[in-house]
Amino acid sequence: MPVAIDAEPIPTGVPGLDHILNGGFASQRAHLIEGCPGAGKTTLGLQFLMEGVRSGERALYITLSESRRELFSVAERHGWSLDGIDIYELVPPELSLDPELQQSLVHSSDLELGETVRMALAEIERVNPSRVVFDSLSEIRLLSQDSLRYRRQVLALKSYFLLNDATVLMLDDLSAEADDLNLHSISHAVIRLEQVTPDYGAARRRMHVIKMRGTKYQGGYHDFAIRKGGLRVYPRLVAAGHHAAFASETVPSNVAELDHILGGGLDRGTTTLVIGPSGVGKSTLALSFLVAALDRDEHALLLSFDETIGILLRRAAGVGMDLAGHVEDRRLQIEQIDPADVSPGDFAGRIRDAVEENGARIVVIDSLTGYMSAMTGEPALVLQMHELVTYLNQQGVVTVLILAQHGMVGRMDSPVDLTYVSDTVVMLRFFEAAGRVRRALSVLKKRTGPHEDTIREFRIDHGGLRVGDALKGFRGVLTGVPTFDGDRRDLLDDRTTAASESPESGIRNPDTHAGR
C-alpha cells in the first residue's frame, strides 16, 4: 500500500475538485464536508474512498446516519462497486439481526457518547485505513448535548485519525440551528456544498472552499452536478490561467464577398458578435464560418439554445449547408442546451471539454439570449462571458456569439451589451425597398485589422448566403428606418435577375429564400 507524505495532496476522486484544491485533499488530515441533506456529501465521500481503493489503499466508511443497504443502493444507481471499502454501520436498518450481515450493528441512540466513539475508534484500529469517511457528525452533536463536549469528542477523533496517519472526511448536515464554527476551527479544510432551487427549472448545486490550511486553493463558488457516475465539479473559469500557443491567421468563410467586408475573414483567437433582429440571418452567417472550418477538417462546437438539433440540421441543409455528415464524422459537436437545466459552470465545462479534449477550433453560441435565460439570477453575467471568451481567445479558438435584439424593425435594443468583449461586431438589419423586405449587413468594429465600412445587402437562399454591392442610395438602414434615395438597379435581386434566369449562371432564383 502506498504511503503518502504528510499533508501531501492526494486525489479526491471527484472530477474538477483536485483543480480547485490545488492537487487534492491534504493527506493525514481531517477535512470537514458540510451541507444540507441532499447536497451530495455521501456521493463525494464514496468517490473519495473508491479513488483510494484504485490506488491500493485501505478505505473505511463509518456511518451513523445511512444504513449499509442505502449506501449500496446509492452505488448501484451510479454504476459503482464498493468492493474493497469496509463499511462500519452504527445505525442499522430495521432487520439489524440478520445473521448474514457481518458488520457490528448498534443503535447509537441506546449508547452513551463515549461508547459510540470507542466503537468507531476500535474499527479504525482493526481496519487500519488510509482513507476514512465519517458520516455524520450530527449524530455526535446530538449525543454530546452541549457544544463543549461535542468539540472535545471531535478533537479526540481528529487526534486519533492523525496518530493513525489517516486522511479523513467528516460529513456534517448542518442540522444545528445555527452554523457551528467549532468544527471550522479544528478542521484542516472546510468545504460547503449548497443546493439552490431557482423559480423555474432544475435545482443547481454549487460549492466553495471556506478554508484550507497551507494551500493556495481556488476561492469563490464553483458549480457542480450529480449525474449517473457521480459528482462532477466545474471549477470557476479563470482565463488568466489558460494560455496556449497558436499561429495567428485569418480564417475565411465560404462567402467571398463576406470575407472581403471583414478584411479577409475572422482572425484566430478572436470573438465576433453578430447582432440583429430575429429571423434576419444571424445563424446562417455564423454557419458560413463554421462550415468553412469543417471543410478545412477542423473540429467545431455549436451550442444551440434556441433550436432543437433536428430543426437546426434541416434548416442548414435548406440553405446548402450539410451538417449531418460532419456530425457523423464527429468533427462537429452540437450541444442542445436547455436554459432551465444548465448552470454557468456546466456550460463553461462543456466548452472546455470540446476545446481541450476534442480540439474544437471554432465555437458558435446561438444565442446569448438563451444563455441569459439560463443565467437567471446571475448578476455577473457579463463578467462570466468575459472570462469565457478570453479563455477561448487564448486557446486560439474562433468564437462567434449570436445576440437577438428586441424588435423586428425600427429602433432596437440589445438585452445585454457585450460589444466591449467582442473583437468584431457585425450588425444585421431588415429594410424595405421596392415593395420587398430585404436584409443588410455592416461591420461596425474589428480590432485586429481593417474592414469595409459600407452597408451591403445580402440574401439567403438554397445556395446559402449571397452578398451584394454597397447600398449607396440608402440612408438610415442601421436605424431600421431606411430612406431610399438611389437607383433601384443597385438592389441585389434586380442586378441578379437576369443572371438567375440564365442556366449557365448557376445562381438560384433569389425569390426563394430562407434563414434566420
What CATH number is associated with residue 153?
A: 3.40.50.300
Domains identified in the chain, total number:
2
Both 221 and 267 in a single domain? no
Task: For residue 432, list its beta bridge partners.
Answer: 437
Query: By C-alpha distance, which of 446, 429, 434 is closest to 492?
Result: 434
Both 357 and 213 in a single domain? no
Both 67 and 43 in a single domain? yes
Interior/surface letters 127-141, b for 16+ CB within 10 angstroms, e for the rest: bebbbbbbbbbbbbb
CB 360 within 8 A of CB 333: yes
Confidence of residue 116 (pLDDT cuts 50, 70, 90): confident
Longest Cα separation, the chain: 97
pLDDT in tens, 155-206: 888 889 888 899 999 999 887 655 566 789 899 999 999 998 877 778 889 9
pLDDT in tens, 421-456: 899 999 998 888 777 888 999 999 999 999 999 999
CB 267 within 8 A of CB 250: yes
pLDDT in tens, 88-100: 987 543 334 444 4
Task: Among 204, 236, 268, identify where a domain stops.
Answer: 236
Structure-model confidence comparison of residues 203 and 496, the more confident one: 203
Give the separation between CA 196 and CA 508, rounded to whole angstroms. Answer: 53
Both 265 and 406 in a single domain? yes
Q: Average pLDDT of the chain?
A: 85
Q: Is residue 67 part of a domain?
A: yes
Q: Is residue 183 part of a domain?
A: yes
Both 231 and 359 in a single domain? no
Query: What beta strand segments (E) does 332-447 contain?
Result: 332-336, 360-366, 398-404, 424-433, 436-446
**Stretch 326-345: mean pLDDT, rounded?**
91
Both 287 and 223 in a single domain? no
Both 276 and 201 in a single domain? no
- DSSP 8-state assignment for residue 275: E
- The pLDDT, as a whole number, for residue 266 is 97
Query: In sequence order, what are the residues at sequence separation of 6 or more whose Cβ sits closer than 8 angstroms to the Cβ of residue 468?
Result: 257, 456, 457, 458, 459, 491, 492, 495, 496
- The pLDDT, as a whole number, for residue 178 is 53
Cell of 486: 438611389
Query: In sequence order, what are the residues at sequence separation of 6 or more whose Cβ sits closer than 8 angstroms to the Cβ of residue 415?
Result: 368, 369, 372, 403, 405, 406
The answer to whether the Cα torsion of 94, 95, 100, 102 is positive or negative is positive
Q: Is residue 514 part of a domain?
A: no
Task: Among 236, 258, 290, identify where a domain stops.
Answer: 236
The C-alpha angle with vertex 161 and arms to 187 and 10, in degrees rounded to 5, equals 70
- The pLDDT, as a whole number, for residue 223 is 94
Give the separation between CA 271 and CA 252, rounded to whole angstroms. Answer: 14
**Stretch 465-476: mean pLDDT, rounded?**
84
Burial class (CB in 10 A: 0-12, 13-18, 19+), 500: middle
Q: What percent of the chain has pLDDT over 70?
A: 84
Cell of 161: 485519525
- The pLDDT, as a whole number, for residue 11 is 97
Query: In sequence order, what are the residues at sequence separation of 6 or more whose Cβ sits closer than 8 angstroms to the Cβ of residue 287?
Result: 316, 319, 321, 323, 364
* pLDDT at residue 143 tops 50: yes
Task: Among 194, 210, 236, identify where a domain stops.
Answer: 236
Confidence of residue 212 (pLDDT cuts 50, 70, 90): very high
- The pLDDT, as a whole number, for residue 148 is 82
The answer to whether the Cα torsion of 78, 15, 200, 283 is positive or negative is negative
- The pLDDT, as a whole number, for residue 350 is 94
Both 80 and 147 in a single domain? yes
- The pLDDT, as a whole number, for residue 203 is 83
Residues spanned by the domain of 379: 250-501
pLDDT in tens, 383-422: 888 999 999 999 999 999 999 887 766 667 777 778 888 9
Query: By C-alpha distance, which of 270, 305, 299, 272 is closest to 286?
Result: 272
Q: Is residue 53 part of a domain?
A: yes
- The pLDDT, as a whole number, for residue 364 is 97
